[in-house]
Amino acid sequence: MKPSRVLFAGTPAFALASLKALVRSGISPVAVLTQPDRRAGRARRLRKSPVKDYAEAEGIPVLQPAALKDEAAQTELLALRPDVMIVAAYGLILPQAVLDIPKHGCLNVHASLLPRWRGAAPIQAAILAGDRETGISLMAMTAGLDTGPVYVSSAISIGERETAGELHDRLAALGGRLLVEHLPAILDGRLAAAAQDERSSNYAPKIGQEDARLDWREDAATLARRVRAYNPVPGAWFYVDDLRVKCWRAEARPGVEAPPGTVLSASGDNSTGDAIVVACGDGALAMTSLQRPGKKPVSAREFAASVELGGRRLGDAI
């Protein structure tokens, strides 16, 4: 069954991959729901979401309600008479009254092998936990947070050095392919949904700046995963005196007996390569790409040439 009236709800680049896959397969939504334009950048200019930008270019009507509990917004959705609503990283809660509008319900494209990671940041959570694989789940939406039954999942391995940004792009593409491949069978009833195992669920909360802070008392492997998980947003960081520095690439190495935060090497010599090596609670973190505030990311060698680090102990701002 090819749906004749699809309503799509999504906002960032992850959602855009699913919307593009639908359109390329010949399914043009009757409308797109996306979050209101936000101010961004130093100039604080209003920016359209990636989904809105693409939808407008394709001539698809765009709706941007601030919330969906509003009766006027629900009436507008009812008038569209959707067969199904596809939801991918929309960012707004769908009340039961909205979930009940589409004839075949609401289908979510979720970036985790449910029930492994529910919530706002499943990609980052998988990397932080050291998971070896993750994937995409197509889930029937219910009032709970990512608790609905799952129609189908598809797994991919996580690279040892893969960042959240790199994994995000692979998952987004997989989500689009899985959606187009299985949507007809879901709507026809040929593909049944299975309830999630509540005992295996974990929550991946929204990420804040403080979550990305590097605490040198942790072990090096954990900090290396933190760097990967928060690349590109918000970026792992630490202090050099009162200078807040971001680290974009790093790996765990064996350490020596030294207080956590001690800079073991900042010279980029033959023994360490182009890296700033810092003692951790267990092992050492070798940082290879760093960024000062207001500057571009540079190699460890370039960074060490501009900031005196040799023999110092890094910590909080004084």
Q: What is the mean pLDDT of residues 126-144?
A: 97
Res 268: pLDDT: 56
State the Cα torsion 220-224-225-228 to the nearest 10°.
Answer: 170
Res 270: pLDDT: 46
Residues in the chain: 318
| Distance between CA atoms of residues 26 and 104, nearest Å | 19
Instruction: Please work out, in degrees rounded to the nearest 5, the angle formed at the alpha carbon of residue 238 by the alpha carbons of 232 and 244.
Output: 85
Res 310: pLDDT: 79
Closest CA to 6 of 86, 61, 65: 86
Q: Identify whether the C-beta of residue 5 lies closer than 8 Å to the C-beta of residue 159.
A: no
- The pLDDT-based confidence of 135 (bands split at 50, 70, 90) is very high
Res 140: pLDDT: 98
Q: What is the mean pLDDT of residues 179-188?
A: 96
**DSSP H helices in 199-261:** 220-229
Is the N-terminal amide bond of 115 cis, ω within 30° of 0?
Answer: yes
Give the residue with greater pLDDT, 117 vs 41. 117
Res 266: pLDDT: 87
| Average pLDDT of the chain, as a whole number | 94
Residue 243 Cα to chain centre, angstroms: 27
Walk me through the domains of the chain, giving residue ranges and CATH numbers: 6-204 (3.40.50.170), 212-306 (3.10.25.10)
pTM of the predicted protein model = 0.94
Mean pLDDT is lowest, of 100-104, 148-152, 250-254, 270-274, for 270-274
